[in-house]
Amino acid sequence: MPLAIRAGRLIDGTGAAPVPHALILVEDDRFTVVAREEEGAIPAGFDVVDASAHTVIPGMIDAHVHIRGSGDPGDRGFGESDSIPTLTLKCLRNAVRSLEAGFTTLRDAACAHYADIAVRDAIHRGELVGPRLWCCGLGITSTSGHMDREKGLAPHLHVDGLNNVADGPVEARRVVRQNLRFDVDFIKINATLTEHVRRYQGYCAPEMTADPMAAIFEEAHWHGRRVTAHCYGGPGATWAIEGGIDGIEHGFYLTDEQLAAMAERGTVLCPTLSVVGRFREMGQAALPPGQPHLEAWRKKAIAAAWDMVGRAKQQGVKIIAGTDAAMPYVRHGTTAYELEMLVEAGLTPMEAIVACTGGAAEAIDFQDVGAVKTGRFADLVFVDADPLADIRVLNQPEHIRAVIKGGKFIKGDPAASATAAPARKTA
């Protein structure tokens, strides 16, 4: 049944001023009319949904998650200890947690065994209920790099499966093409080595040289895919930005010069402040035990991250919201926390909402989502409080009164529950 939604107030995800009393028509899984209520008529045969007491926003986008890990303490989602079927089921469960919290689209920033692709496609075919996934398959790494799965293993041991290690341009092209074989939506690389940042208190060792990066950017762009990098700063960041990368993840130690180059080139920043937010909140409990050097890194990251985002905003860098859900205490289902962190760093609440809706959709090149506009997927969240007055309400489940994906209620269906906030009748 097509839907006619009466919204008390519409924030459309583009950054435009909120529209009071909006009428949103949904047919099949897309928006077909978005208008002021006095300018639109409700056609016969539409189910009328009364959201006149609510602020309606687009389904949110978390632009950096790992669905393989829950973020729950003790979840070993990042080891290779899970079987592939177990891993795949965990991916679906975690993705659904984010969906129910209002995140109708997730960009997964590296998975294992192409489980992300299997879950994405099953959801897309309608066989499973879950969010829209924007996937990169295997993150491309170097021998001993951030995503080298054999790092730390005894030398005689070997992890089976398709290989994501590339130490030069030829191997880099091979891994991009292998990812393309599975129809990835974008390419993720590792430009700097996390371990050196941790151990040497902020020195950002490059992981990948400029040559393989250039090969990856060329190969990906030939095939219409954007590239983003796990990258904290240092020369690896400079090579990535100057080489023409599309996005930088984390970026805590980016300099003003690097940020200026990003602003000029349109390189997107996804700062994943949630990780450091939970570091600050949870203290040493957020770190794995027995590695005292990590404590210095935790403090340094806290000192740098919000400041970097503030400087990025001043320089005019495009900032999007991604959480790195799966990291310690960054749990699927609580990820609108990132918006609080972005506002703390200096974004306005409206800028934070755009960073997780229309701005993110444009930045990741998934143009069918992120805004309440005719032709886009009908993904919506009904909020019974004002996120422009207090952004934290988006991370409070009691205020998320309904979630709609592709015109179907995921949460708060008024037809299913008399206590749900919206009311529904047929025109």
Q: Give the x-and-dash track for 58-97 against Zn ion (CB under 5 A).
A: ----------------------------------------
Stretch that binds Zn ion, among 103-111, 139-147, 279-287, 354-362 (CB under 5 A): 103-111
CA-CA distance, 175 to 114, in Å (whole number)? 13
What separation, in Å, do the N-terminal and C-terminal C-alpha atoms of the chain show?
11
Shortest Å, Cβ 98 to Zn ion: 14
Nearer to Zn ion, 148 or 324 (CB): 324
Stretch that binds Zn ion, among 105-113, 154-162, 309-317, 385-393 (CB under 5 A): 105-113
How far apart (Å, rounded) are the C-alpha atoms in residues 156 and 71? 31
Q: Cβ of residue 418: shortest distance to Zn ion, in angstroms?
A: 41
Of 286, 288, 262, the C-alpha closest to 274 is 286
Task: Output the smallest distance, CB 92 to Zn ion, in A.
Answer: 19
How far apart CA 401 and CA 4 sit, in angstroms, is 17
Fill in the amino acid letter for 146. Answer: H
Q: Count residues near Zn ion (CB under 5 A).
A: 2
Which window, 108-116, 117-125, 286-294, 416-424, contacts Zn ion (CB under 5 A)? 108-116
Give me the least distance between CB of 275 and Zn ion, in Å please.
8
Measured from the CB of residue 116, what is the shortest distance to Zn ion in angstroms? 12
From candidates 109, 115, 336, 364, binder to Zn ion by CB under 5 A: 109
Examine residue 410 and tell whether it contacts Zn ion (CB under 5 A).
Answer: no
* 324: contact with Zn ion by CB under 5 A: yes
Q: Measured between alpha carbons, how far is residue 196 from residues 175, 234, 301 in Å?
A: 24, 11, 13
* Least Cβ distance, residue 141 to Zn ion (angstroms): 12
Q: How many CB atoms within 10 Å of residue 8?
A: 19
Rg (CA), the chain: 21
Look at strands 408-411 and 400-405 and give their pairing.
antiparallel
Q: Which stretch binds Zn ion (CB under 5 A): 140-148, 208-216, 287-295, 318-326?
A: 318-326
How far is the CA of 51 from the CAs of 40, 370, 402, in angstroms? 16, 19, 9
Considering only the stretches 192-200, 291-299, 324-332, 369-377, report the one whose residues sit in contact with Zn ion under the rule CB under 5 A.
324-332
If the CB atoms of residues 324 and 338 are measured against Zn ion, the closer one turns out to be: 324
Q: C-beta of 66: minimal distance to Zn ion in Å?
A: 6
Q: Would you call 90 helix, strand, or coil by DSSP?
A: helix
- For residue 349 the two structure tokens come to 């609440």
Token pair, residue 15, equals 């950054």
Show the binding pattern over residues 266-305: x = contacts Zn ion (CB under 5 A), - = does not.
----------------------------------------
Q: Where are the alpha helices (DSSP H) in 223-322?
A: 234-243, 256-265, 273-282, 293-315
Q: Residue numbers of the site for Zn ion (CB under 5 A)?
A: 109, 324
